[in-house]
Structure 1
Amino acid sequence: MISGYAKCGRMGEALEIFECMPVKNVVSWNAVISGFLRNGDVKTAVEYFKRMPPHKNRVSWNSMISGCERNADYEGAIKLFRAMQQAGEKPDRHTLSSLLSVCAETVALFLGMQIHQLVTKTVIPDIPLNNSLITMYAKCGKIHEARAIFEKMKFQKDVISWNAMVGGYASHGFAFEALELFELMKCLKVRPTHITFISVLNACAHAGLVEQGRLYFKSMESEFGIKPEIEHFGSLVDIVGRDGQFEEAMKVINTMPVEPDKAVWGAVLGACRVHNNVELARIAAEALMRLEPESSGPYVLLYNMYADAGRWDDANEIRMLMETNKIRKEPAHSRVGSTSS
């Protein structure tokens, strides 16, 4: 009952039942703690974990560590792991997988390597654990180490393994290696997911492969039945925008089934800066200002583009907007008054 209420987000009722229990065992404590973590309430979960009698088990520790990791409390997850070791509780593959995810998100390579050593000493790595190792090394920039683990998996790879490796290559500028691996993935009949295509399209954007990017985008639905999501549209906008094809970029935005987000308009603004398209930059910057009115980036970039073009009236207008909206960051060109005069 406690777990059922917790899964529905009804922690009030879950706690009522918990408090009514005449005898509370480790399972009931774990259910309450997991419920708070599932609903994003790390602070209360920690409070109940501290109140828990000394008979904590590995599930208790794993629930807390994985819950902190899922809720981006990475420092809390590491502290709990150290406390777990001090309490004499040995980690298992679930503990280690959560910690590797923490290392990946915080780019903590040294700690990740220490966890890898624990993996080799304490467990036989399964597919999820190997995937966590690949992701950790890839996100920390150790692509060769990630590929070594990927190759050792041989025929035990799943689509997550492939996605981790393709994504690792794409995010660190190895675009051709990412696309080569993607083609191998297709040859081996491993069905890609929407995550695969985010990495593939990003690789095309960074390598300037415009036509190939278009083909991959079209193949998502035509070959694999994957409907493009906003991340894929954003990547396509980035691909054609980097090539200076602004008319096509705006056509993609205008035909998207969802409203463009800051990543989409950010891609347009970045392309405008490279190709010095001030008029479209204004449209993209204004869209970003509406989405993130507190962010200084669009204001500063647009101000600098106007200043570089000698359009000081427009530049001053942007400066006034910054002052009106209390945007504190100073534009790179600081000689507005003297230059405009």
Structure 2
Amino acid sequence: MVMHMSFSVAVAGASGYAGGETLRLLLNHPEARIGALTANASAGTTLGEHQPHLRRLAEVRLLPTEVEHLAGHDVVVLALPHGASGAVAAALAATGADPVVVDLGADHRLVDAAEWAAYYGGEHAGTWPYGLPELLHPGERVAAAQRAALAGATRIAVPGCNVTAVTLGLQPGIAAGVVEPEDLVAVLANGYSGAGRSPKTHLLASEALGAAAPYAVGGTHRHIPEIAQNLRSAGAARVSISFTPTLVPMSRGILATATARLVPGTSPAAVREAWESAYADEPFVHLLPEGTWPSTAAVAGASTALVGVAVDERAGRVVTVTAIDNLVKGTAGGAVQSLNLALGLPETLGLPLEGVAP
């Protein structure tokens, strides 16, 4: 494994949104050297035909996603559809190659194989160290155990983008014991890039512009067990959450509004203190001043999460609003942040804190 020196990276699925965003960040990472770029249906074409904004790589020809092209690199990023990463990772291991493998898909996120089967189907590929450095563990008020788990890791499972937003919004209250972990409600506004690049009728501009449309309603979204897993990690004995994502006409971004029942007798000051202590020293998660709320525009292109929190005393609930760029903090930025920790590099290396405006 490489530490404190330049490293070579192969990206499988380079023609998709997640693969392209990972490459955008790695091109500005001072220690990363871009190696093989692979694709499935797009193999044989140039990257510039799919990612015209990545000018330095525009003429690179995409190779088929085969182990022979991925092996020999220090790092392999798998930006593949759910269910595809497990087989590629297993084939890599069979060659004797031991790169750091970073999975942007869902194959290795869940601990419970039964939950994988229920929400994704098929055989569970196994659980890898979880790539959310800010994830709290029981008894923690500041994330430390998850960073320790990622230090030196050779396998990393990057969280789902919705999962990142909801987890960051709610976990301080769970860890501090100021909110109840049951009867949680999360409603999200999601940019269309989160649905991937495959052409589908409901993703066409003529269908989507000027419209907001819910999807995966009624407890069917695949990110639900992952959210519950994270909140149990933060100390919840049992989690019950109603989760409803909504597509809105923006290309990227997630605005997650999540509420939880306030533990009786808890003051608004104690609630505020829970979120402040959890995120006071976090480089990428910023708690906004009281009465200030995040917007997706403020995090576009950045690897930051902006969080607002308030107490609705009449309803007896805590309200959190979290904004992230689904392609950066929600995917590629989280991947590079975790990779930095795995390689012994500064956690923030190569990652933008500032967004793009207007």
Q: What TM-score, normalized by structure 2, do the two folds share? A: 0.27
The answer to which structure, 1 or 2, has the higher relative contact order (CA under 8 A, 6+ apart) is: 2
Which structure carries more helix by proportion? Answer: 1
Which structure carries more strand by proportion? Answer: 2
